[in-house]
Amino acid sequence: MGKMKKKEYAEHLGELQVELNAMARWLQHSGRRVVVLFEGRDTAGKGGTISAIADCLNPRQCHVVALPKPNEREQGQWYFQRYVAHLPTAGEITLFDRSWYNRAGVEHVMGFCNAAQYKAFLSQAPVFERMLVEDGIVLLKYWLAVDQAQQEERFAERVADPVKRWKLSPIDLKAREHYADYGRARDAMIEATHHELAPWIIVDFNDQKIGRLNLIRDLLDRLPDQRVPESELELAPLKGKPGKERYRGPVKPIEGKF
C-alpha cells in the first residue's frame, strides 16, 4: 500500500472527528467515563494521535495527561496514586500520553525501578484496572508499534528539525541501544496485563497517518454506539450593523509584523 495523500487523510480524519464529537455528546448524556492509554515505541506517534483526538473536543471534557518523572514526594507514594488523581469524572475522557505502564517499560529497561517493584507492578496492574472497569470506567490500552528502521528515520528528523528537537531527551537517545530489550519488555507486560476487561490493542504505526486513522476508528468501534441528537442551533440576524472594535484607553493593538 502506498502512502496516503494528505487530502485523503484529511477527509478520513474529518469524518472520524465528527464521530468523536458524537461520542463526546454520548459521554455527556450518559455520564460514562473513558480512559485511553497510549503506549509504544519512541517516535511511534502517540502525541500526534492524541492531538488528532483532543483538538476537536471540548478541553473541559477531554483531558490530556502527560506526567513528568515523579518528584521526591511522589516517589514515596503508592505507585498508582498520582495517576488516580487524573482519572475522569462523569462525562469525561482522559487520554494518557504514557501511563502507569512506564514501570513495565522505560523504568524496567533503563533500570529506574528494582526487580521487586517491577514484579509487584505486573501483579498489581490487572487488579488496579479491574477496579477501574468494575467502577464503570471504559479502559482502552493501545500500543503503537514501529520498526527500528522507521524509528531511526524519525529520530534523525527530530535532530534536524529545531521545532521537533524538544521531543528528544537523553533517555530517548540512550534507549536506541535497547530496541530488542523494549520488545521483550512489551511482550512480558502484555502477557501479564492483557485481560478481558482491559485488553491490549496493538496498532501498526510505521505509517503514522494510517496508524492514526486505524487507532481512532478502533477506539470509536469499541465504544457503545448510542447516538445522542445534536442540539439545534440558530443564529438570529444581528440587530443593526456589525460593530467594530474601538479602544478608548491607552492600550491599542500591537503593530503587526506580518
What whole-number distance in Å separates Cα of residue 69 and Cα of residue 75? 9
Mean residue pLDDT across the chain? 95
Q: Edge-to-edge strand order for the sheet containing 200-204?
A: 62-65, 93-97, 33-40, 137-145, 200-204
- Residue of 63, 191, 170, 192 whose CA lies nearest to 124: 192
User: For 56, phi and psi rounded to 5 degrees?
Assistant: -105, 5
Grid cell in block for residue 176 = 536506541
Residue with cell 523494549: 182
- Per-residue pLDDT tens digits for 109-164: 999 999 999 999 999 999 999 999 999 999 999 999 999 999 999 999 999 999 99
Q: At CA 177, angle to CA 172 and CA 182, rounded to 5?
A: 75
Residue with cell 522507521: 150
Grid cell in block for residue 42 = 519512541
Grid cell in block for residue 175 = 534507549
The pLDDT of residue 224: 84
